């Protein structure tokens, strides 16, 4: 029928329109959501990072102190 599009033309039009809508509207929003999610994960992991940092410092301290004390112990013959 003249003047009517077939389904393939409609699908191409919708696809092209969807790509443009994504570029103009969705991409910035999705990028912002990703950035917020990344900051949220960092904030949630901060206490764990702090705990691990403290644990490493404690481990270093204990290792050095044990080494110092073992140096004072005389060797057996």
Please check the confidence at residue 26 and state whether its pLDDT lies above 50: yes
What pLDDT is stored for residue 5 in this prediction? 64
Answering whether pTM is above 0.85, one says no
What pLDDT is stored for residue 76 in this prediction? 78
Place of tokens 């004072």: 72
Distance CA 26, CA 18 (A): 10
Condensed to tens digits (0 to 9), the pLDDT of residues 10-22 reads 788 888 777 777 7
- Cα–Cα separations (whole angstroms), residue 2 to 9, 17, 67, 69: 14, 24, 92, 97
- Pick the more confident residue, 65 or 26: 65
Per-residue pLDDT, averaged over 27-51, amounts to 87
């Amino acid at each position: 029928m003249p003047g009517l599009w077939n389904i393939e033309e409609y699908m191409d039009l919708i696809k092209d329109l969807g790509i443009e809508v994504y570029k103009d509207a969705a991409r910035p929003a999705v990028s912002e959501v990703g950035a917020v999610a990344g900051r949220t994960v960092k904030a949630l992991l901060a206490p764990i990072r702090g705990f691990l940092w403290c644990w490493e410092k404690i481990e270093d301290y204990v290792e050095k102190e044990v080494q110092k004390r073992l140096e004072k112990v005389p060797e057996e013959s």
